[in-house]
């Protein structure tokens, strides 16, 4: 893997700003597992790291302290004895820091939540270390990193005890967007067109760890067959480990995302609780918040609906793909993805996943529409069938302050998309139904988001705005 940092322009600017400050900094970096947090910190600071350690998954206190000790010996060059407690360990770290004659000192503790093993006293010791000494050391940069986003938010960023408001900078590392994904693949020597890159994104999202597994010289279909469907497929066991590594009660989280995978539109909290037979007064709201924080699901509101009516939708591309095509499949076919290239099941998945890709690139869509500087809100809209109409749904509605609403239709195709008379009539019906049910007086612009644009015909002129795949590859500045 190249050691050059791809993308991450905003994050690197933040790290530079905090590194250059004369104050002690406690920097929390968090985000979905495999998103590249460790890579970013290690490669940004490189030889400026003065100490590094990492938590061990399900490691005991003794195991964590042993690795901490070996790292301290390596960075200091001194034979520090094995600490018997975290209080002793942080005191040794303090001694190491004091011995360094530098204006800037960088300490990096990775997988921070895993260090907090049961009854280890880790957080009490860290609290004392930071509040009693480290926070008063000018130029000290303490970077803590964790994939267990729930833990990072509740125990550190949103801590209510001694660490309350002690984090001086938080960085939530998001997956790559399409532009960063393209740059990453080019750095690997993979020469795919943007259609193929988009389809790869619709399978794995912008997760660097997954993208790194792609091999140049092979088509996307060949890569997916190898990674998901071959005898030793690398990505088959990833699903179970993801949840075990992030959540203590992994089963309720898996059950929730698997339920949502069967409901393309999404579900309300009440609908999920009923389907999962969850009791009222439990911690299900926390489960949903945790899944949102880890970028597995998204929370969205429908046009004109209240907060209690919010919907939850599965939005993690890898999870969507795995549950659709891998989990529970009884027929073993090492070339499944290649053999499904023209299947209705794959075409249906293409359409839905492209909608999700668009929802992950709202800033790029707004930029393509030329409305980046206009205040707007993004939502969906649906209307159930009645005696007066057959109902309708629009997955992306951009409600603008300049008295315009973009009603967006998203279509994934291998050539220019051709609007038929039937489809034009359906769009016009939805548009008028939207106006009738919402009672809006704003101008309604039919907007098409497609891969290669619209094929000109007598109905294409009914569309006010077009966004194409190239627009989604714009850099989000």
Check pLDDT > 70 for residue 100. Answer: yes
Spatial separation of the C-alpha atoms in residues 12 and 16, rounded to whole Å: 6
Question: What value does the mean pLDDT take over residues 408-418?
Answer: 95
Q: What is the pLDDT of residue 307?
A: 63
Stronger pLDDT, 395 or 195, i.e. the higher one: 195
Domain boundaries, given as residue ranges, for the chain: 9-172, 175-360, 362-472
Q: Which of 114, 175, 106 is nearest to 143 (CA)?
A: 106
Taking CB atoms within 8 Å and a gap of at least 24, the contacts of 10-13 are 11/40, 11/171, 11/173, 12/40, 12/44
Domain 9-172, CATH number (from 3.40.50.300, 3.40.1010.10, 3.90.45.10, 3.90.1150.200): 3.40.50.300
pLDDT tens sequence across 258-268: 999 998 888 99
Angle at the Cα of 78 (from 77 to 83), degrees rounded to 5?
125
Q: What is the pLDDT of residue 168?
A: 95
Beta bridge partners of 405: 399, 444
Q: What is the pLDDT of residue 2?
A: 54
pLDDT band of 477, cuts 50, 70, 90: low
Q: What is the pLDDT of residue 3?
A: 67
pLDDT band of 279, cuts 50, 70, 90: confident
Stronger pLDDT, 388 or 1, i.e. the higher one: 388
Check pLDDT > 90 for residue 101. Answer: no
Question: What value does the mean pLDDT take over residues 333-350?
Answer: 90
Q: What is the pLDDT of residue 328?
A: 83
Highest mean pLDDT, choosing among 128-137, 298-307, 326-335 = 128-137
CATH class of 362-472: alpha beta
Q: What is the pLDDT of residue 447?
A: 97
Check pLDDT > 60 for residue 82. Answer: yes
- φ and ψ at residue 377, rounded to 5 degrees: -125, 150
pLDDT band of 445, cuts 50, 70, 90: very high
Q: Are the CB atoms for 390 and 425 separated by under 8 Å?
A: no
pLDDT tens sequence across 344-390: 999 999 999 999 999 999 999 999 999 999 999 998 888 887 767 77
Question: What value does the mean pLDDT take over residues 273-283?
Answer: 86
Check pLDDT > 90 for residue 32. Answer: no
Question: What value does the mean pLDDT take over residues 29-56?
Answer: 94
């Amino acid at each position: 893997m190249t050691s050059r940092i791809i993308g991450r322009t905003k994050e690197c600017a933040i790290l530079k700003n905090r590194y250059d400050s004369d104050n002690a900094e406690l920097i929390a970096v968090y985000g979905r597992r495999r998103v590249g947090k460790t890579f970013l910190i290690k490669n940004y600071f490189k030889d400026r790291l003065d100490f590094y350690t990492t938590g061990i998954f399900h490691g005991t206190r003794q195991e964590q302290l042993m690795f901490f000790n070996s790292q301290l010996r390596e960075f200091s060059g001194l034979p520090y004895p094995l600490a018997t407690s975290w209080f002793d360990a942080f005191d040794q770290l303090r001694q190491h820091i004091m011995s360094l004659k530098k204006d800037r000192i960088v300490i990096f503790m990775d997988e921070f939540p895993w260090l907090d093993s049961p009854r280890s006293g880790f957080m009490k010791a860290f609290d004392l270390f930071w509040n009693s000494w480290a926070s008063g050391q000018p130029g000290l940069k303490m970077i803590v990193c964790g994939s267990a986003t729930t833990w990072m938010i509740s125990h550190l960023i949103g801590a209510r005890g001694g660490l309350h408001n002690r984090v001086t900078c938080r960085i939530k590392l998001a997956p790559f967007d399409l532009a960063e994904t393209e740059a990453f693949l080019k750095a690997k020597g993979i020469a795919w067109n943007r259609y193929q890159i988009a389809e790869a994104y619709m399978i794995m999202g912008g997760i660097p760890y997954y993208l790194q597994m792609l091999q140049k010289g092979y088509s996307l279909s060949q890569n997916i067959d190898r990674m998901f469907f071959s005898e030793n497929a690398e990505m088959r066991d990833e699903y179970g480990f993801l949840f075990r590594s992030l959540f203590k009660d992994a089963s309720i989280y898996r059950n929730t995302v698997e339920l949502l995978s069967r409901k393309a539109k999404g579900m309300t909290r009440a609908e999920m609780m009923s389907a999962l037979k969850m009791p009222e007064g439990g911690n299900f709201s926390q489960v949903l918040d945790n899944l949102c924080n880890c970028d597995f699901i998204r929370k969205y509101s429908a046009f004109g609906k209240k907060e209690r009516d919010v919907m939850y939708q599965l939005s993690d591309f890898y999870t969507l793909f795995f549950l659709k095509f891998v989990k529970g499949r009884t027929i073993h076919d090492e070339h499944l993805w290649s053999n499904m290239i023209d299947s209705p099941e794959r075409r249906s998945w293409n359409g839905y996943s492209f909608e999700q890709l668009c929802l992950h690139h709202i800033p790029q869509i707004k930029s393509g529409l030329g409305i980046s500087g206009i205040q707007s809100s993004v939502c969906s809209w649906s209307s159930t069938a009645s005696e007066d109409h057959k109902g309708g749904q629009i997955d992306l509605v951009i409600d603008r302050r300049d008295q315009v609403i973009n009603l967006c239709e998203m279509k994934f195709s291998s050539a220019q998309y051709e609007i038929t008379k039937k489809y034009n009539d359906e769009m016009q019906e939805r548009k008028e139904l939207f106006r009738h049910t919402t009672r809006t007086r704003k101008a309604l612009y039919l907007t098409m988001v497609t891969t290669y644009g619209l094929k000109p015909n007598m109905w294409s002129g009914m569309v006010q705005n077009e966004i194409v795949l190239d627009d989604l590859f714009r850099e989000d500045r």
